[in-house]
Structure 1
Amino acid sequence: MSVSAENSPELIAGDLAVAIHQGSIRDGERLPSQAKLARSYGVSSGTAAAALAKLAAAGLIRTAPGSGTYATTRPDAFGSNPVLDVMAAASVCRTLAGLEFGPGEPDPPALAVGGSPRWETVSEDGETMPARRLDVGVLAEVDRHVLRWMSEALVSGARRLVAHGVSDADRHLIEAARAILRDGGRRPEGQPDIAGSGGPQPADEDVVLRIWPERGEPRDPDGPPFQPPRTRRT
């Protein structure tokens, strides 16, 4: 299949990150060479090298001098790499979106999360971890279309993390993904209540008042961040 020469390092790095998460490129497996990536995507060797550099910065690959570049082996059950954590949460949501549980049917089964692809293979060793069973009863109550959208949004977020690195703005995305992996989206034990509207508004949320200060007073800091849509009169 021919690939446009306009492919960017960000796109290539995102594709490789997805392949690593899905196990198409297994932990410890050698990645395609720069030359092969360049041919496959129709880009220069420099663009392919830039894509690999982004993967290295994201902690998804390691380079062995004189040997090649390899997918990084995850040391534990669900890993601490934010890119892989976000993709794993996306997989949980996508899996649930494809399941149906009607009235009277049993609760959804626990899903397997994390673990090493080497588990129960000839490559298994003393550090190989099995998958963990995650109770997804809370998430199973979410509408399937919303779960599918959540999955797509998480994958897009993971690609952004690979392409541009982790910024302060990504903190909530990563923590939300880890909450899904850790507790199936349940509220952590001892977490204090927040306002029903979602909590206090950030200090920089009322940007419109900087442009049109005459539009009135700032909103209630404990109120909703956006007004609900107005009903069209007929």
Structure 2
Amino acid sequence: MESIMNNRSNLFFIDGPGGTGKTFLYRSILAHLRKNGNIVIAVATFGIAATLLPGGRTAHSRFQIPLTPTSSTLCKIKKQTDLSELIRRAKAVVWDEAPMTNRFAFGSVNQTFQDIMENKLSFGGKTIILGGDFRQVLPVVKRGSMRDQIAASVSKSTFWHHVKILHLDQNMRSAQDPEFSQFLLRVGDGMQDIVKDNFIRLSDSMIIPWEGEQSIHQLINSIFPRMEDHVNDAEYMVDRAIITPKK
């Protein structure tokens, strides 16, 4: 807040596994600043995350980032437009799920901001709040190896050495289940024991043993208890889900 209110050129990265409250923090910052009449641009790398931010848009949509950015491309924003004026007047930018974005996209936005603001500081002197979790999905590189994905990460950007990393480490979503929270961290950090071929073993508390058709009914009854009594209860339905990949 001090950086934003004093118009300082600072870059922050909010690092935290899923459930540690990153979105809550973004929303709090946005609400406080906008309540005081400040303009803050809220973006995310993909659409679902953008919908969780008030006034959020995908970064590609908001900043007109080229679909195939390179080290020399600029965003398709003309200086004499409403979008350019919005960028000039904005106090800060909040960018969620930053680790999923290719570093060249950040480079395009960085150079475009410098051009619009006529300021050679990172992102034209704006306070930039990035966030996400490097344990999750890194930038997709077509036919690329893990090394290529890491090379495309925001942590390899030219401005990364200016970034101040702030850590969120308490899993609020699993506050009542610390064992599960620690399990998630071990998996994300690559510390969970391997059975074979990079497979990990789930704890017995997370498994419903396969006993034929009855196991499916047991899963449904576990996630949707007494479903026949809640068929018209929308809140009951949207609070629960069984997610499974397709073959």
Higher-RCO chain (CA-CA 8 Å, sequence separation at least 6): 2
Considering the TM-score relative to the shorter chain, is it more than 0.5?
no
Hey, which of these two has a bigger chunk of strand by percent? 2
Q: Output the TM-score relative to the length of structure 2.
A: 0.26
Tell me the TM-score normalized by structure 1.
0.27
